[in-house]
Structure 1
Amino acid sequence: MKPVVPFILTFSALASTAAIADVNYHIDLTSPAHHLAKVDVAFPHTDSDTLVVNLPVWRTGKYQVLPLGDAVRTFTATDASGKVLPWTRTASGEWTVALSKPTSVNVSYQLYANKLGQRVNHIDASHAFLDASGTFVYSPEFRDEAINVSLKVPSDWNSYSGMDSGGKAHSFTADNYDILVDSPIETGISMHREFEADGRKYELVVWGEGNYDIEQMVTDLAKLSGQAEVIWDDYPFERYVYMVHATSGARGATEHLNSTIIQRPRFSYRDRKDYLGFIKTASHEFIHTWNVKAYRPEGLVPYNYQDEEITELLWIAEGSTSYFQSQLLLRAGVMTPKEFFEDLAKRVAQNLQTPGREVQSIASASANQWASSGGDYAVNHSTNIYSEGYLTSLALDFSLIEETELKASYRDVHRKLYNEHRLPAGFSIADVKAILADVSGTSYESWWQKFVNSPVSIDFDAMLAQAGLEMTYGKDSKAEPFTGVTLKSGSLVLSHVLRNGPAWNAGIVLADEIVAINGLKVTAAGFESRIKDFKAGDTIKVTLFSNDRLKDVELTLGEQPSGKLAITSVNKPSRSQKAFFKAWLGVDWPFDKEGQFKPVK
C-alpha cells in the first residue's frame, strides 16, 4: 500500500494539535454513579449580539433524529467577567445567549449520560463513553476553531480517543468541532492493547467483563486491518482505535474518523457464531473509515447536525460496506469459505422472504431512512439499505466483472470514489454513474434504473452460476406447509403477517392472537409443530382474537421448502466459472470434486 496521502478539509484533518485551543471543553466525571457529569465550555471572544449554542439532534452513523438535548439541565452562560448572561431555548438542540457587549462566553450545564445502546454517551462508576454529539455543545460561529478537551476522572481511570492527546493524560485536541464530534472518548477501567498492521498503529480498548479472548481479538483485527489495500490505495489515518463495550444487552456499532465503537452482550464472544458476529461488525466499521468517513454522498456533506440530511445513496454508504465486510475477512483468513457462503445464503433467504423488496426501490429506501421505523410494515412494504443494499452491491459487482471480462470489479468503483471524490466534496449519482461507465466502458443508466430506481429483482440462480455456484435446500428437502406469520416471542400474538402470504390472503392481520386450530387449543411452543401436522394446500380453521373479538378464519396453507438455503458448487464447474469466482472474491476455488468445502489449512 502507498504511504498515506493527507487530504485537507476544515473538518477532517485528524490528530492535528493546535498550539492554543480556541474552544475549551472540560468535563468533570468524578461523581459518575448516577450517570451525571458537569460540562464547562469556554467560547472565545465574539462581537456578535447573540451567541447561538447547539447540541446536535442526531449523531453520525445513525440517520435518525434523537432527543439528545433532553439530557442537558442547569444550563448557564456567563461573560468574561463572570456576569450571568440571559439565554432562551430556541430549539430542542439550541440555546441563544444574549450579549450586551463583545465578550468571551462560558457555558456550563449538567449532563445526564445514559444512552449506552444509542452509542451517544454513558457514564457509570466504571467508565464514561462520550460521543460529542450527545455530550459537548458547539457554536456555529466557532465550529471551525481548534478545540481542547480535558477530563477530570477518578484516579484509576485511563482515557482513549482517536484524537491526539499531546502526551497529556485525560486531554485531547482537534482542529475543530467536526473532528471532536467524530472522535468519541472512552475513559474508565478497561483493557488496552496496541498492535500494528501494514505500517499503521492500532489500539484495542475493551470495557466490561465477558467471555471474550482479547488476544484472539488482537490477532484477527490485525489480519483484518491489513486487508485495506484490496480496495484502496492508501489510508486516511495513521492511527486507529477499536473500542469495544462488553455489556449486559446493548449491541450495535458506529463508525468514526479513525475509531469505532462496537457493543455486544458480554457473553457473546466464545461461540464461533457469536464471535463471527463481532468480527464482521469490526470489519464493517473499519471499511466505513473510507466509505463514509473519507468519501460519502453529497447529501451528507458537510454534516448538518441540526437537521436531517437526505440522500438516495445511503445504500452505497451502508449496504456496500456490509457487502465488503465478509470479503475482507475471507481474504484475511479470519472467515472460512463455508462461513462466508452461509452468511451470503442467509442474506439471500431473507431477501426472498421480504415482500417489501417488490414495493420499494433501494434509492427510495435510502431517501426514506430518516423516517424508517421497522416492524411489520417495513417487512411488507420496504427495502433495507443494509440487507438489500448488500445484494444490490453484489449484483453490481457481478455485472462489472462480466462486462470487463474479469478485469475490473466493484472494488475499482470504491477505489475511484476515494481517489476522486474525497472530502470535502461529496459524490453524486451522476458521479457514480460516470465511474461505472469509466470502469466498464459502457453506460449503466439502464442498470441503475432497473436495480436502483426500481424495486430490485435479482435472478440469483443465473447470477451465482457465473461463479460456479448454485442455491439448494439439500437433497432431502421437501415441501412444507406455510402460514406466512411470525409470532411474538413466547406468545401466540402475531408480530408479522407476510403480504400476499396465506394468512394475509385469509384476512388475518398484525396483532391477532391465535387460540386454536381446527377447534383444538394451540400453544406458542407447539404452534409450528401443529402446522406440520398438515400438508401444503390443506385448509384449516384458525380461531383467534382480533381486536378482542373471537372469530374463525379459513386458511389455506401455502408451501415452502424444508431445510436451510445453502450456496454451494454446481456440478462440474468450468474453468471460466472458477476464474470468475477468483476475480470476484480473490481466493482460490474452495470446493472439492464432490462439491464439499475443502478443509481449511
Structure 2
Amino acid sequence: MLVTARSCLRLTLLVLWTALTACALSGRAQARPPAAAPVHYRLEIPAPHRQYVHVTMEVEAPGERSTRVAMPAWTPGSYLVRDFGRHVYDLTAEDRRGRALATERLDKQTWRIDHGGRPFVVRYRVFAGEASVRTSHVDDRHASLVGTSVFLYVVGQLRRPAEVEIALPPGWSAHTALEAAGGDASTARLRAPDYDALVDAPIELGTPSVQTFTQGDATFDYVLTGAEGTAIDADRLVADAARVVRAQGELMGGFPFDRYVFLMRVSEQGGGGLEHANSTSMMMRRSAFDTDDGYDRAARLVAHEFFHLWNVKRIHDRALGPFDYTRENHSQLLWLHEGFTETMEGHSLLRAGLVEPERFVVDLGRRFTRYLQKPGRNHDPITSLSFDAWIKAYQPAANHPNVAISYYEKGDLLGIALDLELRLRAAAQGQQGSLPGMFRRLMTSHGSKGRGITMADVIAAASAEAGQDMRAFFEHHVEGTEEVPLAELLPRIGVAVQASAPWLDADGRPLPRLSRQQRKDRLWTGLSLTDEARVHNVVPGSPADAAGLMLDDELVAVGELRVRTREQALDRLSDHAPGDTVRVTLFRDGRLVQQDLTLAESEARTYRFSLVPAAELPAEVLQLRTAWLGGA
C-alpha cells in the first residue's frame, strides 16, 4: 500500500476524531441509566385517621433535562374518568442531595420536573377518602390502595419496572398479588415488571383474616377485612369461593397463574367488585350477611370477578391494553367482557352446585321479564352502548331509560341465547359446542399469547364452536337491535315458556272481575312517577307522550280528584279503563297545566320459565339441557 504524508495526516485526524466521538458517546451512555432501571416508591401512612398516603417516588433520570410524571385519569375495569390527579397534594421534587427542583403542573394530571438530567425524587400526598373498589380508602383500621390513584408514572416509560416499599403502621400487614421482595414486620417490599402490572394489583393493609386454599397447582388467598366482631361466617365464604374456583378451573382447563388473591371488604356502605389479572377487590355491606342471601351474593360476586381473569384480563379487546391512562379507552366489546362474564358466572355457580337448575331457570324468567319492561333496550346496538359507556352508562341523562340499557343486563341474556344457539347448532351436526368452549378457543388463540381480540375473532370462535357460520347472530343481535331470542330458544332445550298478565285468564282472555291492583296492571300510560307524583320518565310514543306530559311535571289532580303521591295517582287512573280519556292537572315550572291523557292497555307480560319433566323430553334434548344446566 502506498502511503503519502497527506494520507498519513488524514488517517491520524480520522483516528483522533473517531476516538473522541467514541469517548463522547461512551460518556453519554454512562450518564444514561439502564433502560430497565426501576422506579422506586415508598408509601407511608403516618396518621391513618387523616386518610393521607405519603408517597416518595425516586426516578433514575432518562437523560433529558426534564421529565413529566402523571397520575391516571381512570382505573382499568371501571369505565369512567375519575381524574385521580385531583387527590394529589403538596407535590415537590428534589435531587438526591435534597436540593429543590423546579416543578410545573401542566394539566389536571401531569407535572414537569426540571432535573437537569440527574436522578430525582418526587414527594406528594394522596387523599384516600372514598370507600369503593375503584378508589383508595384509608381509615384507622385499614388501607385499601388502588394503584392508579396512588402511583404516579413516568410519561412515556410505562415499561419500567417498579419497586414498592411500604412503611406499615404498627400491627398491620400487607396483602396483594404483587411479588414480594423481602420485608419484615414493619416494612413490606414489593415489585412489578412494569407500571401496568403495578396498578393491576390492589394492596390491602391492616389486620384482616386470611385463609389459603389450593386448587391444582395454584394457591389462593382469601383476605377478609372488616368482619371483626361480627357473626360473618368466613369459613363459608372461603368454601364457596373454593367451589367456584374449582368449577371455573375445570371449565377453562386450569389457571394461567401460580397465585391469586381475593380481597373482600365488608363495611356499612358500598359494594361491588373490580377485576385484576391475579386478584380481585370486592366490597359488600355487613348487613348483607344477616341472611343466607348475602352469602349467595358473595358467591355470585366471586364467580363474576374470578372469570374476569380470563375474560377481559387475558381475552380482551385490543382497545383495552396496553392502556392509555390519560383518557377514555373506548371499546365496542363490553357486552362480551361484562355481559358474557355474567353468563359465565351463572355457568360456574351451576357447575359448583351453588345454584340449583330449577332456581336458575325460574330466576331467568324473572330477569327476562324485567328486561322486556325497559323501553330503551333495543334503541341502539349493544356495541354502541359499550362504546358510549364512558359518557352515558355512568353519567346517565334524564332520558337514559328510553335510549339505553345496561350492557351487563342485555349482554348476559345475549350470552345465554348464544350459548343455546351454539349447543343446538353443534348438536344438529353431531358435535359439541358452547359458550365456555368459545372462551376456551379465544384463550388458546389470543389470551395465552397476549393478543387483543376484535369482533371478527369472537365471531370466528363462535362459528368454530357451532360448526357453522354465526355471523348472522351477531349482525342481528349485537351489531343490530333485534330482540334477544331467548323465548324462542328455551323450548328447544327442554324449558317451558309461559307468558301471562295479571288481568288475563289461562287462555289469554280478560278476567270478568279485576281487583284494584289488576286494574293498575292492565293500564299503560308510559308514565313513571316518583313517590311525590313527579314525572320521572315518559316513554316515547306512549299515551303520556301523546298527551304532552314532560319530565318533572308535578301531578296534582286526576279528573276532579286531588293526588299527592304516586299511589294516589295510580289509584285514580285505575278508576278508568283502557280507551278512556282522563284530564290530568299538573304544575310545570310553577304554572298550572291541564292535559288530556288517553289510557291504553298494557302489552307487558310476565314470563315464567320451568323445566319440562325429563320423561317428556327426547333423549338428545335432555342431554343438551343436562349439559347446559350442569355448567358444562
The TM-score with structure 2 as length reference comes to 0.84
Post-superposition CA distance 1:359-415 (Å, at most 9, x none)? 100111111112112354222112422111112222221221122116111211110
Deviations 1:412-457 (A, max 9, x none): 1110111110253201122222223333332223222111111131
Contact 2:413 2:486 in 1 (8 A): no
RMSD over aligned Cα atoms: 2.4
The CA distance in 1 between the partners of 2:133 and 2:282, in whole Å, is 11
2:457 equivalent to 1:465: no
Query: What is the CA–CA distance in structure 1 between the aligned matches of 2:301 and 2:576, rounded to whole Å?
Result: 41
Aligned-partner residue type, residue 622 of structure 2? K
> For residues 298 and 587 of structure 1, do their structure 2 counterparts lie closer, same or farther at Cα, with a shift above 3 Å needed?
closer
**Number of the residue aligned with 2:522:** 480
Q: Is contact 2:558–2:584 with CA below 8 Å preserved after alignment?
A: yes
| Contact map agreement 2:66 2:115 (CA 8 A) in 1 | yes
- How many residues align structurally? 567
Q: Would you say the 8 A contact 2:529–2:566 is kept in 1?
A: no
SS of 1:83's equivalent in the other structure is coil
State the one-letter code of the partner of 2:170.
Answer: S
Summarize the Cα distance change of 1:138–1:125 in structure 2 as closer, same or farther, 3 Å threshold. Answer: same
TM-score for the superposition, normalised by structure 1: 0.88
Unaligned segments of structure 1, at least 5 residues: 1-19, 589-601
Offset at 1:314?
Answer: 1.6
Does residue 588 of structure 2 align to residue 546 of structure 1? yes
Task: Say yes or no: does 1:68 pair with 2:102.
Answer: no
1:54 and 1:189 mapped to 2: Cα distance?
Answer: 32
Question: Residue 32 of structure 2 aligns with which residue?
Answer: none
**Pairs within 5 Å for 1:9-28:** 22-28=38-44
Listed as ranges, the matches of 1:423-572 within 5 Å are 424-472=450-498, 478=504, 480-488=522-530, 490-524=531-565, 526-527=567-568, 528-560=570-602, 565-570=607-612, 572=616
Aligned pair in 2 of structure 1 residues 49, 498: CA closer, same or farther (>3 Å)?
A: same
Map 1:69-218 to 2 at 5 A.
69-100=85-116, 102-117=117-132, 119-169=134-184, 170-209=188-227, 212-218=232-238
From the two aligned structures, give the one with the greater helix fraction: 2
Maintained 8 Å contact 1:404/1:440: yes
- The Cα shift of 1:211 comes to 5.7
Q: CA deviation at 1:504?
A: 2.8
Residue of structure 2 in register with 1:240 after alignment = 260
Which residue number corresponds to residue 627 of structure 2?
583
2:181–2:191 contact (8 Å) kept in structure 1: yes
Deviation at 1:505, TM superposition (A): 3.1
The whole-number CA distance in structure 2 between the counterparts of 1:569 and 1:501 is: 36
Q: Post-superposition shift, 1:259?
A: 1.0
Conservation of the 8 A alpha-carbon contact between 2:317 and 2:331: yes
**In the alignment, structure 1 residue 362 sits paired with structure 2 residue 388:** no
User: What is the CA–CA distance in structure 2 between the aligned matches of 1:47 and 1:526, rounded to whole Å?
Assistant: 71
In structure 2, C-alpha distance between the alignment counterparts of 1:281 and 1:535, rounded to whole Å: 45
Distance 1:212 1:542 in 2: 52
Deviation at 1:570, TM superposition (A): 4.5
Question: What are structure 2's unaligned runs of at least 5 residues?
Answer: 1-35, 505-520
* Displacement after TM superposition at 1:76 (Å): 0.8
Deviates more, 1:129-138 or 1:248-257: 248-257
Q: Distance in 2 between matches of 1:66 and 1:347?
A: 31
Is the partner of 2:601 in helix, strand or coil? strand
Are the counterparts in 1 of residues 532 and 565 from structure 2 also a CA contact under 8 Å?
Answer: yes
Q: Deviations for 1:495-544, whole angstroms, at most 9, x for unmatched residues?
A: 33333333233322222222222222334363455554444444333322
- For residue 218 of structure 1, give the secondary structure of its aligned residue in structure 2: helix
Give the aligned partner of residue 426 of structure 2: 404
1:312 aligns with 2:356: no
Counterpart amino acid of 1:585? L
Provide the rounded CA distance (Å) in 2 between the counterparts of 1:92 and 1:151.
27
Which stretch shows the higher mean deviation, 527-536 or 152-161? Answer: 527-536
* Structure-2 residue corresponding to 1:337: 357
2:385 counterpart SS class: helix
Q: Quickly say closer, same or farther: Cα 1:538–1:117, change in 2 above 3 A.
A: farther
- Three-state SS of the structure 2 residue aligned to 1:128 is strand
Moved more, 187-196 or 571-580: 571-580
Larger Rg, first or second structure (1 or 2) = 2
Find the aligned partners of 1:311 and 1:255 in 2 and give their Cα distance: 17
In structure 1, the residue matched to 2:16 is: none
What's the counterpart of residue 275 of structure 2?
255
- CA distance in 2: counterparts of 1:514 and 1:383, whole angstroms: 27
What is the CA–CA distance in structure 2 between the aligned matches of 1:134 and 1:80, rounded to whole Å? 25
Task: State the one-letter code of the partner of 2:197.
Answer: I
Instruction: Give the SS at the match of 2:327.
Output: coil
Q: 1:137 Cα shift?
A: 0.5
User: Where do residues 313-328 of structure 1 align in structure 2 (5 Å cutoff)?
Assistant: 313-328=333-348
Shift of 1:573: 4.0
Give the 4+ runs in structure 1 shifted more than 6 A: none
TM-aligned CA deviation for residue 551 of structure 1: 1.9
8 Å Cα contact 2:78-2:134 kept in structure 1:
no
1:197: Cα distance to partner? 3.0
CA contact (8 A) 1:301 1:425 kept: no
Aligned partner letter, 1:386 = Y
- Within 5 A, what are the aligned runs for 1:30-69? 30-69=46-85
Alpha-carbon distance change, 211 to 570 in structure 1, aligned in 2, over 3 angstroms = same
Q: Structure 1 residues 321 and 89, CA, compared in 2 at 3 Å: closer, same or farther?
A: same
From 393, 416, 421, the counterpart of 1:394: 416
2:287 and 2:231 map into 1 onto residues whose CA distance is 5
Q: For residues 248 and 548 of structure 1, do their structure 2 counterparts lie closer, same or farther at Cα, with a shift above 3 Å needed?
A: farther
Shift of 1:234: 2.4
Instruction: Tell me, yes or no, if the aligned pair for 2:433 and 2:466 is still in contact at 8 Å.
Output: yes
* 2-structure distance, mates of 1:520, 1:485: 19
Q: Determine the C-alpha separation between the residues in 2 that align with 1:211 and 1:377.
A: 43
Equivalent-residue separation in structure 2 for 1:376 and 1:578 (angstroms): 46
In 2: Cα distance, 1:193 partner to 1:533 partner: 60
